[in-house]
Chains A and B, each alone.
Chain A
Amino acid sequence: MVKIVSVCVICICSSLICKITEKHSKEQAMLLTAAVSALVLINAVGELSPVVEKINSLAVISGLDSIYTETIFKALGISYLTKFASDICRDCGENSMAAAADIAGKLELVLLALPMFGELADMTAVMLE
């Protein structure tokens, strides 16, 4: 509870500081936004570990291969990072960079899913034999 209060306070204060510094130096405001966002994101990811452990234990009980849960968590991580990067880029007014980050994120996700596509193709081939 204390943690979320401090996170919220940091966010609000940083936003106000950004508003003030924006008039004098837009670059510094952007830098502050990126730094605070990264800090909050890292902090939030640390909080996720009990959730991950709980879901992993559930998967172990049901006999689900851990590679699948790992894949979903990795995909979630990639999605967050991509969103984070593209939002920062959009705030900076660099829409093309934001689009590039989105594309990179999508490609990374496709690469992550590629082994499963291979597995699926093998299963399909076996079924159609």
Chain B
Amino acid sequence: MKKLVFIISAVFLFFLFPMIVSAEQSRDELLEASGAKELFAGDTLEEYGVSFDDPESILSLSPSQIGSIIKQAFIDRAAAPLRLLGALLSVIILASVSKGLSDTIGKGGTASIFTMICTLVCVVVVTDPISRALEGVSDSLSRGADFMTGFVPVFAGVAAAGGYITSAAGYNVIVLAAADAAIQIADRLFMPMLSMCMCMAVVDSVCNAVSLEGLLNGVKKLVTWGLGLIMTIFTGLLSVQSIVGTAADTLTAKTAKFVISNCVPVVGGAVSDAYSTVRGSLELLRNGIGGVGIAALAVMLLPSLVSIVMYKLSLSAACITAEIFDAGSISKLFKNVDSVLSAALGVVVCFDLMFIISTAVVMTICR
């Protein structure tokens, strides 16, 4: 009898001092605890009001704003490639004018050395900005990987809090490993290889005795196929793991809902619905953080991407002009350097897509 009175008193007191909680409150606490507020989305996105403090702010980013971000990146990065194009056009015109005048020099004699000097001027003009652009690629890859190292645990934490523990764990392990591999590969494999290719491109154009064009094309193919293979393995592994993980997580969530609705008397159904609401709120938070993360990474890698594209356009234009003016060795130089830039572009796009797709896969599958 005493026991019954104690239980009834306890239930009475429990309902006398209710603790009001809401999905909004738990969302803010989770945002704070996950460390999302410590992440920085970058100056450009912050200017447009998109930040990790308010992940839903990604919805306010309109297509015209995205267009203006890309446009601004092109404007900021267009000056150096256009200057390079101008300088190259000057050298090509100078070389062709000189060549026209130097027809009297004849095929033999000093003509070959004169042509080599013209090519050498182009090489010196091209090498400096292109090697700086390649350094920019390496830097942006490292910065992107650093960002992912900070972002992935936060995103995985929020996904795990939403009930997708298995998928979040898989994402965390794979993407962190990929980010680390990206830093290592960028610093120790791709950059030295691209620098070597650049040197080979220079030697191939200056020295007619050797032809390294085949080797350069081979390296370009190797990079393209290698990146394709890495992308396929990475995306496939993550997708399979996420699909399997999501099935396990969904089963756990459904079991939890079933237990709540059946074992909690009277308000079981309401508590079960509340659980679903909280999960929905956390999903919204997770997708918001994922969206801001993808946007931040894309904006972070955009400048080097734009820079490489602009240099490629400049070199293509210079190559066409060199071919029009029949400057064979100069156009060969531009084609070779263009191959190196294509490989660099492939590396940036591959790593950018790898991180974006992995985040998007977790955002899409975990529903």
Contacts and interface: CB of A to CB of B under 8 A. Distances in A.
B260 interface: no
24 contacts: A58-B90, A58-B93, A63-B83, A63-B86, A64-B87, A64-B125, A75-B117, A79-B105, A79-B114, A80-B104, A80-B105, A83-B104, A83-B109, A105-B109, A116-B121, A117-B120, A119-B124, A120-B202, A120-B206, A123-B124, A123-B127, A124-B199, A127-B127, A127-B199
Contacts of B124: 68, 116, 119-120, 123
B116 interface: yes
B195 A127 contact: yes
Contacts of B202: 120, 124
A72 B113 contact: no
Interface stretch (A3-11, A13-21, A29-37, A106-114): A106-114
B356 interface: no
B154 interface: no
B339 to A, nearest CB: 16
Contacts, number: 113
Contacts of A119: 124
B131 interface: yes
A125 to B, nearest CB: 10
B120 A82 contact: no
A112 B117 contact: yes
B113 A76 contact: no
B101 interface: yes
A44 B105 CA distance: 15
Interface residues of A, number: 37
A101 to B, nearest CB: 9
Given A51-B97, A110-B113, A68 B102 contact: no
B262 interface: no
B113 A113 contact: yes
B106 A83 contact: yes
A35 to B, nearest CB: 19
B304 to A, nearest CB: 17
Question: Which A-B residue pairs are the 7 nearest by beta carbons?
Answer: A62-B86, A64-B87, A127-B195, A79-B110, A109-B113, A68-B121, A59-B90
A78 B111 CA distance: 11
Contact of B117 (A62, A82, A113, A123): A113
B29 interface: no
Contacts of B116: 113
Nearest to B118: A72
A46 B51 CA distance: 66
Contacts of A110: 113
A45 to B, nearest CB: 11
Nearest to B131: A127
Contacts of B238: none
B123 interface: yes
A82 B114 CA distance: 12
Contacts of A117: 120
Contact of B89 (A62, A79, A106, A116): A62
A106 B198 CA distance: 28
Contacts of B105: 79-80, 83
Contacts of B69: none
A43 interface: no
B196 interface: yes
B128 interface: yes
B208 interface: no
A15 to B, nearest CB: 17
